[in-house]
Chains A and B, each alone.
Chain A
Amino acid sequence: SQQGEEDPQALSIQEGENATMNCSYKTSINNLQWYRQNSGRGLVHLILIRSNEREKHSGRLRVTLDTSKKSSSLLITASRAADTASYFCAIMNSGYSTLTFGKGTMLLVSP
């Protein structure tokens, strides 16, 4: 299936540092989305980037997309302890039917 693969699986940083997570995929996409999940809770949509876009910003979030390398990155700047969560990339395929999720990156931000 067209599953995104996040890297790293886990990331531990200090408050104030930047956190970068990567997502790779295999075939053509319509868009790529990032979601956040606090422990055991429902996922929350963070940001969407379309296949014809290269970069998007939302607050402290910056997402890039490189369709030639079939990869995306999520940057969280000036991390806070409250950013501690799992982050998932999700692929919307070119047929525009359903989202396929990766396995996620667990981010721990220490005070």
Chain B
Amino acid sequence: DADVTQTPRNRITKTGKRIMLECSQTKGHDRMYWYRQDPGLGLQLIYYSFDVKDINKGEISDGYSVSRQAQAKFSLSLESAIPNQTALYFCAISRTGKSGELFFGEGSRLTVL
């Protein structure tokens, strides 16, 4: 099994729909992140969590929300999806005190029509 699992891997939805992307990990790391990747723009941080009760906004949090349901689970929600949220979304994890090295999931490709 992969260390970081994202579901769904691909999703097509319509404008205005609520979408949830889920992330689970088996490495026991305490820190979890959601990044968005657009062609030519690299990765941008949406939200991150350093512990179950800790939620922090990243560079581009508007239009997104997150929930850290357990140490191993971190979900990203789009309350009302819009076309410019079409992107590749990555969940990543890291361990406190280990220089911030990230382990990534395989990504969730979201298309908003």
Which A residues lie at the B interface, using CB under 8 A? 1, 3, 30-31, 33, 35, 40-45, 48, 50, 88, 90, 92, 96, 98-104
Q: Output the nearest chain A residue to B104 by Cβ-Cβ distance.
A: A42
B41 at the interface (CB under 8 A from A): yes
- Count residues on chain B whose CB falls below 8 Å from chain A CBs: 25
8 further A-B pairs in the complex, CB-CB below 8 A; given A43-B90, A45-B101, A100-B45: A31-B99, A33-B101, A40-B107, A43-B43, A43-B104, A90-B102, A92-B99, A103-B40
Whether, in the assembled complex, B33 has its beta carbon less than 8 Å from a beta carbon of chain A, the answer is: yes
Chain A positions within 8 Å of B99 at CB level: 30-31, 33, 48, 50, 92
- Tell me which residues across on chain B come within 8 A of A98, comparing CB atoms: 33, 45, 48, 58, 100
Chain B residues proximal to chain A, CB less than 8 Å: 4, 33, 35, 40-45, 48, 58-59, 88, 90, 92, 99-107, 109
* Interface contact tally, CB-CB below 8 A: 58
* B102 pairs with A45, CB closer than 8 A: yes
Residues of A within 8 A of B109 (CB): 40
Chain B residues lying within 8 Å of A101, measured Cβ to Cβ, are 35, 42-44
Q: Considering the complex, give the chain B residue whose CB is closest to the CB of A5.
A: B42
